[in-house]
Structure 1
Amino acid sequence: MSATTAAPGTARRRGGLLRDRDFRLLWIGETASSFGSSLTGVALPLVAVTTLHASTFVVAMLTAATWLPWLVIGLPAGAWVDRLRRRPVMLVCDAASLLLFLSVPAAAWWGRLTIGHLLAVALLAGTAKVFFQTAYQAYLPAVVGDADLHEGNAKLQGSESAAQVAGPGAGGLIAQVFGAVTGLIADAVSFLVSAACLLAMRTREAPPGRRHRRTTLWREIGEGARFVARDRYLRVLTVFGAVSNLALVGYQSILVVFLVREVGVGSGTVGALIAATSVGGVAAAAGAARLVRRVGSARALMVCEMACAPFGLLIPLASPGAGLAFMVVGGFVVVAGVVTGNVIKSSFRQAYCPRHLMGRVSVSMQFVNYGTIPLGAVLGGVLGTSIGVRPAMWITTGALALSGLVLLAGPIRGDRDFPAAPAPEAHGRP
């Protein structure tokens, strides 16, 4: 099935997809939203710590509340999104998130802000994120053609990585100058920008088919999950994502503790080091499409996941002074591999999956992938507490280095490129 495109020929002009009006609007809105989310990643915990004097456990629960919706409503969300036009879903999510984050400074100004309020905002904003991200991934193929998905995902991933470089520093600066609560206003404004860009887009999706009205929600969920489970490519990518996220979050959850207590650097240096590693994502996104054209999409994924992940073993070698270079180089290459892999996998899934199943397939994979994130954080914390932070870093980065071996269990190892569509016999129908 071919994508519905908005003036596909314009994407090939000098300047690429950024010359395409609708993609440019989508890119601007997503960049603003990613920047706002990066601000919130700093501002929300700071509100809890500095304004409400929350404990470490409560601060950790804010992160857990953000990811919990993927496990609770992730699968139904995919089916719901496939029943609806994706752009209105995204607009509703933007409006809800805008109101949620504005409610925090409003409650603080009225002297009514509580930990329960913050947890509720984290949970509900996380719920909106589930629907928005599912709809957004299914909507992109309606904006650009299949041939441009690699470029589109690369530009979106690159701007997200750039936001992750600038966002934490900006969030800390805003919190220092204006107060942590004010930082959440900036995030709220980012959702307003995202909604304005979506409203200005001209691309119109085809209406969802009537077939959804004749089936139950759980049957539709099962259809998406079975599609993933039966497909050799999607199945191995799902297992790989779960394993790599477990190890990746395992070391990232204790990275700050490692740098402060084991390496002995200050909080300002910690932020600079993490920002430096995030630059790897910007560089990788810029070169992802070129790498795919040169070596093929399947080979590029194998190279990124199997060659870049072992560089994480440099991170536990970090020491004061010049030894911090181990942290920067190791983190830079790992992030570069992760971002390039995300570009390739997202582009493959969006071009490969039938349009009417796109939301359910995406969320079925993310349900497994994201489900290991809280487990990885717990694993890192338990290992760091029981055997020490540096040994825990060795174990988790070692697991990350080996995670790419999962890809050898599937058909990817023998392919130059991913297939453009599933084989009819793989799923029992064309």
Structure 2
Amino acid sequence: MTESTDSAGSAGSEDSADSGDGAPAAVAGGRERSALWRDAEFMKFWTGEGISQIGAQVTTLALPLTAVLTLDATSSEVGLVNAASYAPFLLVTLLVGVWVDRVRKRPLMIAANAGRALLVSAVPLLAVLDLLRIEFVYVAALLIGVLTVVFDVAYQSYLPTLIGKEHLVEGNSKLQGTSSLAQIGGPGLAGLLIGWATAPYALLINGGSYLVSVVSLLAIRRPEPPPAQPEQRTGLWRSVGDGIRIIWQSAHLRACALQSGLYNMCWMSLQTVFVLYAARRLDLSPGTIGLLLGTGAVGSLGGSLVARGLKRVMGLGPAILGALLLCCVAPVVIPLAPANGGIVTLALMVAAFALIGAGGTMANIHIISLRQSITPDELLGRMNAGYRFVSWGMLPLGALIGGWLGDLIGLRETLFVTAAAFLSAVLVVFLSPVWRLKDFPAQIGTSPETTAAVGS
């Protein structure tokens, strides 16, 4: 799931002062102090995005566990639930990217979270009426996925306009840190809620988190600039194609997107099978499964804290490659752990998930920043959408492959196959110019045809 966050040059490694209603500005002498911590509008955005992350983490575990525990779903059916959740990244991401480039982003985020609140709350309401069926879980997962696409593409394109590109490293590091905390608390919270209220009703509580996020986003008062109007209006399908061309014509973006797609495919295969493996082979409770995934994500928080220092010491490219090695080798520990559910098994799995989280987050911080720093503002929506189309579009494929292999060769055997496949993501970056970068390259041209001019 590798994406990342850093701005061009060394921006974000120093602090800055808030300049009223505008984005934080640097002070005299080139030094900055206390940038985004003192920016009230960013703090509102950070709060809303963070609560959304927690809600998404609860949904990610509670929805498939609803299928497993309430509807007695098979491995293939759980794979279909996860596939439906991420299919919109393949089906509608490019269209959403064109839309995001043409409108203001904050209203889209608000509407998306309001819709997610409604959908996740509908599952327990149907359960109360004894009308919940696996088919509705598929539909809910699909629609929640569509709204997640809208929110994610909009928020990544909104951030540079809110804080300025010179603060992207700091802003993205804070957002990645919040994402890590959500991964720590979200699965554990989901497991506890499921244990206390059962899986469907945990989603009702989760619906409230999205509504709190809506309130936080509504409170932002910094004006969002209108989207840039092109001199010549481009047709819809030409604009959709631009999202792919922007990435394909840049060696750096192309390699990052391909490795992300491979990594995400393997991760979703692992996640689909692991929930079943932990529940049925290891006989772990929902609360333990959630806490296991959550404590493993402590590594993500650690990765977000050291990522900037790692880049400073190693350089951008080596830091990305080293982080990927860490998170792509660790998955083999999961099926190697004894299949008895004992303390050794739990300790090894916590260590594996911690290493996966640390490496993935460090890579994400730098890859997202690389993307944002070299892409002009007017192309950010299409670039983010094209990138998500390639990278997140592989998630439903991974879910289907994991579910199919789980039924065909067994759960533990599928975990071994998936662990080996993770190394393909490392190979893509090693064979590209990305790992040789010392710092951020020059910004790409303002038209898709000139994106091959990225500096090295």
* TM-score normalised to structure 1 length: 0.89
RMSD: 3.0
Aligned to 1:79: 98
Aligned to 1:371: 393
Cα distance in 2, alignment partners of residues 92 and 264 from structure 1: 40
Q: Given the alignment of the two structures, is residue 33 of structure 1 paired with residue 57 of structure 2, yes or no? A: no
Cα distance in 1, alignment partners of residues 22 and 452 from structure 2: 28
| Structure 1 residues 275-320: Cα deviation after superposition (integer angstroms, max 9, x where no partner) | 2211111111122223223333222112211344223333332124
Q: Which has the higher helix share?
A: 1
Q: Which moved more, 1:270-279 or 1:345-354?
A: 270-279
Whether contact under 8 Å (1:231, 1:426) holds in the other structure is no
SS of aligned partner of 2:392: helix
Whether contact under 8 Å (1:98, 1:188) holds in the other structure is yes
Cα distance in 2, alignment partners of residues 384 and 179 from structure 1: 25
| Structure 1 residues 165-212: Cα deviation after superposition (integer angstroms, max 9, x where no partner) | 222222233333334343223222222222222221123232123328
Whether contact under 8 Å (2:85, 2:396) holds in the other structure is no
Q: Higher RCO, 1 or 2 (CA under 8 Å, sep at least 6)?
A: 2
Whether contact under 8 Å (1:231, 1:427) holds in the other structure is yes
Whether contact under 8 Å (1:83, 1:208) holds in the other structure is yes
Aligned to 1:145: 164
Aligned to 2:384: 362
Matches within 5 A, 1:259-408: 259=278, 268-319=287-338, 320-408=342-430
Aligned to 2:23: 6
Q: Which moved more, 1:217-226 or 1:370-379?
A: 370-379
Q: Give aligned pairs, total.
A: 429
Aligned to 1:203: 222
Q: Structure 1 residue 271: deviation in Å?
A: 3.4
| Structure 1 residues 75-97: Cα deviation after superposition (integer angstroms, max 9, x where no partner) | 11111111111111112212222
Q: Structure 1 residue 266: deviation in Å?
A: 5.6
Q: Which moved more, 1:132-141 or 1:98-107?
A: 98-107
Q: Structure 1 residue 381: deviation in Å?
A: 3.5
Whether contact under 8 Å (1:412, 1:418) holds in the other structure is no
Residue 364 and residue 114 in structure 1: after superposition, are their counterparts in 2 closer, same or farther (change >3 A)?
A: same
Cα distance in 2, alignment partners of residues 53 and 414 from structure 1: 49
SS of aligned partner of 2:92: helix
Q: Which moved more, 1:309-318 or 1:264-273?
A: 264-273
* TM-score normalised to structure 2 length: 0.84
SS of aligned partner of 2:37: helix
Residue 195 and residue 7 in structure 1: after superposition, are their counterparts in 2 closer, same or farther (change >3 A)?
A: same
Q: Given the alignment of the two structures, is residue 161 of structure 1 paired with residue 176 of structure 2, yes or no? A: no
Cα distance in 2, alignment partners of residues 57 and 391 from structure 1: 16
- Corresponding letter in the other structure for 2:306: G
Q: Structure 1 residue 101: deviation in Å?
A: 2.8
Residue 34 and residue 387 in structure 1: after superposition, are their counterparts in 2 closer, same or farther (change >3 A)?
A: same
Cα distance in 2, alignment partners of residues 66 and 321 from structure 1: 33
Whether contact under 8 Å (2:251, 2:452) holds in the other structure is no
Whether contact under 8 Å (1:263, 1:318) holds in the other structure is no
Aligned to 2:433: 411
- Corresponding letter in the other structure for 1:340: M
- Corresponding letter in the other structure for 2:25: P
Q: Structure 1 residue 246: deviation in Å?
A: 2.4
Whether contact under 8 Å (2:62, 2:202) holds in the other structure is yes
Residue 428 and residue 399 in structure 1: after superposition, are their counterparts in 2 closer, same or farther (change >3 A)?
A: closer
Cα distance in 2, alignment partners of residues 383 and 104 from structure 1: 28
| Structure 1 residues 47-88: Cα deviation after superposition (integer angstroms, max 9, x where no partner) | 445555655544443322211111211111111111111111
Whether contact under 8 Å (2:252, 2:433) holds in the other structure is yes
Whether contact under 8 Å (1:39, 1:186) holds in the other structure is no
Residue 355 and residue 61 in structure 1: after superposition, are their counterparts in 2 closer, same or farther (change >3 A)?
A: same
SS of aligned partner of 1:210: coil
| Structure 1 residues 81-129: Cα deviation after superposition (integer angstroms, max 9, x where no partner) | 1111111111221222223233334444555544444333222221111
- Corresponding letter in the other structure for 2:116: S
SS of aligned partner of 1:85: coil
Gaps of 5+ in 2: 1-6, 12-20
Aligned to 2:3: none
